[in-house]
Every structure is written in C-alpha cells, then in structure tokens.
Amino acid sequence: MNDIKEKILLKGNVAIAKAAIEAGCECYFGYPITPQSEIGEYLSKAMIEENRVFIPVESELAAINMVIGAGSTGTKAMTSSSSCGIALMQEAISAMCCQQIPGVIVSVMRGGPGLGNIAPSQGDYNQACYGGGNGDYKIIVLSPSTVQESIDLTYLSFHLAFKYRCPVMLLADGILGQMMEPCEIGNYPYKNYNYDIESWALDGAKNRKARNLISLHMDLGELEKLNYELNKKNIEIEKNEIRYDKYLTDDASIIITAFGTVARVAKAAIKQAREMGIKAGLFRPITLSPFPSNELYNTINENTKVVLDIEMNLGQMLKDVRSSVFGKCDVKFTGKPGGGIINSDEILQKIIDLNNNIES
C-alpha cells in the first residue's frame, strides 16, 4: 500500500494521452468527440511542448489516413475517437492491415447505433474485433478496466503495433475515459526493443532501391500469398500476445466473463457473492482480439455449472464466449445496450438467481 503515495490522480483519457507521450508517439491526429475529447485536448498542448506533431483534423477519415502516412515512415502515430468516429475509419484500418503499417487507434465507446448518445457503452466490441473493413484481416484489440491499465495497455499498443506492423486498437468505454483513479505513468517499458523499422519503412530510398507500401495487389496470386503471410502473423500474435485476468475461478461454480468497466463492477459483485458463500469467479479477456479462447475453456473446471457473460451491449462478446466454452457448460447472458449502465447490485442479483437455479 505504501507505493500509492507516489500515485497521481488522472482521468482515463488524460492518462492515455500522457502514456502516448511517454511511449514516444510523434504524431497525433484527431477530431473531438465525447467521451474522449480530453485526449486531444491534453495532446494539443503537450505535443507542441514536446516539439511533436498535433493536427486537429477536419474528419476522422483524415485522422486515420494521416496515421497511415506517418506510420508508413516508421513514425509512431496515434488517433483517438469514439463509436461513430471509429466507424468512419474502417476502410483505412483494412488498408493498414494490407499495407502492414503500424499505428494506434484509441476508441472510447459511447452509446450507439448511429450517432447514438454520449453515455458509456460497450456496443463496439464487434466493430473493434470484427471491423467494418473489407477482406481477411484481424487487428489487435486491447481492453483496459482501470486507469492504470489504460496506461499500461497504451504502452503495449505502441509496442505491438511496431512488433507486428499492424494497427492496434485500445478499446475503452466512456466511464474509463471520464473517471479519475490513482495511477502511475512510469516509464515506457519497450524503449530498447529493436523493431527493425529500416527494413520496411519509407525513409527516402537513399542508397537503396525504392519501395512502397500499397494495398492494391493486382498480380496473379500476389494477394493470395499476402493473405497467407498476414494469417501467419495473426497466428503468431495469437501464440504470443494473448492476455487475460482471472479472479477466484479455481473453485467457481459460476464464472462471469466481462471486459472493461463491466469486469471491475462484476469483481465487486463477486466479492459480495463470496461473502454469501456463493462460489463465483471472473474471467476477463484483456486482448479481445485475439480472444483468449483456450484460456477460457481451460478455466472452466469440474465445479463450473454456468458461464455468465455480462456486457454493456446486447451480447457481442457472447459468441466468442460461447465458441470458447464449446458446450463444456451452460452459457447465460445479461447486458444493457445504448448507454445503460450495469451496477454491482444487479450483477449480484443475477449471481444469486443463477446459484438458486444450480442448487434446485
């Protein structure tokens, strides 16, 4: 507990912005949208002070395409937006995967569909993990559930983007963006990692042959080959980068699956349930894509009767949970769409109801 004294109180959005600076993000392009505007607001001052690039763009389309431009030169670049703004970026995200250009996209979810509202939501799980871009592509999606984790996963986003030359999305929700919590910025832990940027970046073609990073591959069989290469990379990512968190799952008869804010609310409910003698536990995916499928499957033990998936949407992660559980036990769902917020009393009641069903 002593180290808490060193901690500072930061809003989730500001923490992400500060972490981007610490990670060495050289360019930020963004357009304001609630509930993530503090990221741009903070960086509009901090990036200039650091002598880096801050461009308030005319649209989210411009923002993501500028990330492509900066990323193609091997420069660390980031954009941030919310639901409907991220929707505009989908075509470019597909292109980034094809061109193998690194970049960080921060998505702080609000209520949808459409322009929706500004309440916190998790309605963009599908948008983040399965995207709206064309083609066989996958991106890495990281989901924090505390302000501290928002910092740590911002660092990881920049690292993975350059390690695998791909877009990485940090997926938070309005609560995480707006809330303040004690945290530490610390130091960017991947400073000395060698990414071999020289081997692919567009850096002026001095003393070497010209090269380009394109997303159009017309030669016969060329695109097919590229798709296999990209797939190989995705398998590599799945092997090395899956992250998740477990809480009291070893003997749990009820395992809750939840990500982001809902996971921390569920944890509070699980603590109350344990005090009542109900064996509940939590499985929290941190990488939503790739999803910790095997890890969830292996978490289910002989005591587990039911997996309860809880989300602030109508069941988007549910299909990943179902396919991971693979019939090993029952899967139930509860959620609220369009900015509805789930509190720990509601989750506790669900746990109690499920437990009564199990026992009867």
Residues binding other proteins (CB under 8 A): 1-2, 4-5, 7, 9, 118-120, 174-175, 178-182, 261, 264-269, 271, 341, 343-345
Interatomic CA distance for residues 347 and 101, integer angstroms: 41
Task: Determine how many CB atoms are found less than 10 A away from the CB of residue 118.
Answer: 16
CB of 179 to other proteins, least distance (A): 4
Q: Select 236 or 345, whichever has its Cβ closest to other proteins.
A: 345
Class of residue 24 by CB neighbours under 10 A (exposed 0-12, middle 13-18, buried 19+) = middle
How far is the C-alpha of 153 from the C-alpha of 188, rounded, in Å? 11
State the nearest-atom distance from the C-beta of 112 to other proteins, in Å: 16
7 vs 319 by CB, closer to other proteins: 7
Residues 6+ apart with CB under 8 A from 120: 35, 109, 110, 111, 173, 174, 175, 176, 177, 178, 261, 312, 339, 341
Retrieve residue 50's tokens.
């650091």
CB of 167 to other proteins, least distance (A): 29
In the complex with other proteins, the residue whose CB is nearer, 71 or 337, is 337
CB of 262 to other proteins, least distance (A): 9
State the minimum distance, in angstroms, from the CB of residue 347 to other proteins: 9
* Distance of alpha carbon 286 from alpha carbon 288, whole angstroms: 6
Cross-strand partners of 9? 182
Q: Minimum distance between the CB of residue 346 and other proteins, rounded to whole angstroms?
A: 10
Q: How far apart are the first and last CA of the chain?
A: 43
40-123-241-309 Cα dihedral, nearest 10 degrees: 140
